[in-house]
């Protein structure tokens, strides 16, 4: 069972990283208050470079003795992230409306919910 739980988490993390690649391609920074008014090249650079410390923090947490906390942080983030994207679905600068983009976001959120339920001991 442990390998299934790890596989669920690995898949949700892979979906998160894939979403961020898609977000860069689709210029997600245009939905952010400060970045939307910047030149695209500058906004792209800031948006992209900010992901390095974010990924580093998540990976450090997951590879540390606090990995259990890291699982909760990622799961809760992905759930909230899914709802934020739902809330911004009609934003004029939202270019993440395609089937693949929505599938990646929603699958990551749903897998996070499943993983959160399992690690919280609510099932199994």
3-state helix, strand, coil in the chain (%, to 5): 75, 0, 25
Which tokens in the block code for residue 74?
A: 């990622």
| Band of residue 105 on the pLDDT scale cut at 50, 70, 90 | very high
d(CA 8, CA 111): 7
Q: 122: pLDDT confidence band, cut at 50, 70 and 90? A: confident
pLDDT at 85 over 90: yes
| Cα–Cα dist 73/9, whole Å | 12
- pLDDT at position 1 over 90: no
93: left (phi over 0), alpha (psi -120 to 50) or beta: alpha
Confidence of residue 124 (pLDDT cuts 50, 70, 90): low
Q: HSE-up of 46 (CA within 13 Å, CB side)? A: 13
Backbone CA torsion sign across 43, 47, 52, 57: positive
Give residue-wise pLDDT tens across range 6-63.
999 999 999 999 999 999 999 999 999 999 999 999 999 999 999 999 999 999 999 9
């Amino acid at each position: 069972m442990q390998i299934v739980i790890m596989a669920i988490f690995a898949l949700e993390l892979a979906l998160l990283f894939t979403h961020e690649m898609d977000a860069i391609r689709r210029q997600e920074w245009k939905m952010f208050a400060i970045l939307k008014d910047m030149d695209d090249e500058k906004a792209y650079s800031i948006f992209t470079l900010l992901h390095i410390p974010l990924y580093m923090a998540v990976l450090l947490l997951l590879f540390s003795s606090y990995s259990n906390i890291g699982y909760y942080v990622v799961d809760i983030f992905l759930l909230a992230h899914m709802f934020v994207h739902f809330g911004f679905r009609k934003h004029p600068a939202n270019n993440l409306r395609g089937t693949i983009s929505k599938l990646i976001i929603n699958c990551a959120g749903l897998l996070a919910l499943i993983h959160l339920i399992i690690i919280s001991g609510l099932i199994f």
